[in-house]
Amino acid sequence: MARRSLYQRLRSTAQVRLALFILGVLLILISPIIGVLPGPGFLILFPVGLMLCLQNSAWAKRIYVRFKRRHPRYAAWTDRVMRRTSAARRRARDALIAADGEALENRRDAN
């Protein structure tokens, strides 16, 4: 049986999950303030805070899913910044579909 990491064992308690969620909210709230300073502070703090919130709160996940459905363009940007693997798969799939569509158009034009 595989051993769980220390982070996974700690996250199994409700108090730690709440603390991580609150830390994520604080990072999200601080990110615009840090964003006015020179450097990539906003692009580091906001995704980290969002990831902590999404990992530790079912409520935050539901809100995020609603946001993604209403604003797919912004959600794609957020997924890209958070480096979500599902977003990478989606972009690769869309690129493959676009390439297949172009190849089909080129064959039609050639005939």
Kindly report the pTM of this predicted structure: 0.62
Residues 2/52/95/74 CA torsion (nearest 10 deg): 160
> Which of 42, 24, 25 lies closest to 33, judged by CA?
42
pLDDT in tens, 41-52: 887 888 889 888
Joined tokens for residue 19: 């603390």
pLDDT in tens, 8-30: 777 778 888 899 999 999 999 99
Pinpoint the alpha helices (H) of 1-111: 6-11, 14-35, 41-56, 58-70, 72-82, 85-110
Report whether pLDDT(81) > 80: no
Highest mean pLDDT out of 23-27, 50-54, 99-103, 107-111: 23-27
Per-residue pLDDT, averaged over 88-100, amounts to: 80
Return mean pLDDT, the chain: 81
